[in-house]
Amino acid sequence: MINLLHVEDDADIREIAMMALGISGEFAIIQCESGDEALSEVENSTPDVILLDMMMPGMTGLQTLQHMRKMPHLAEVPAIFMTARTQQSDVDELRAMGNVEVITKPFDPMTLSDQIKEAMAKIDA
């Protein structure tokens, strides 16, 4: 079972992702609607992978990951951004964070679990 932390401000996208990943039976999913909530969640837990929305009110996904990377137990946890910003410069900036991959929005719910596993394999390679 892959422990996945999903950080997404849009309730509809959280629900679609929960259903899509739940169908696979391979993920134990914890969802947070903000970067602040996610930071509270990970104080005492370590997910296997972090799935972050890039654009959120308050703290962006990038800012959230920057805070998480300061926590020793999260420094090397793979992170996957889901974003509609797909210009190569944006993708390169995210990947420069280390242990990061990018899934573009809109995503296909039927292939989301495979995309996450493929992204994790790229990060581990």
- Give CA–CA dist 80/114, Å, rounded: 13
pLDDT for the residue 30: 95
Q: Write down the pLDDT at residue 88.
A: 74
Contact 53, 10 (CB under 8 A): yes
CB 52 within 8 A of CB 61: yes
Ordered structural domains, the chain, with CATH: 2-124 (3.40.50.2300)
What pLDDT, on the 0 to 100 scale, is given for residue 40? Answer: 95
Q: What is the pLDDT of residues 54-86, one digit of tens each?
A: 888 999 898 999 999 999 999 989 999 988 766
The arithmetic mean of pLDDT across residues 104-111, rounded, is 86
3-state secondary structure of 27: strand
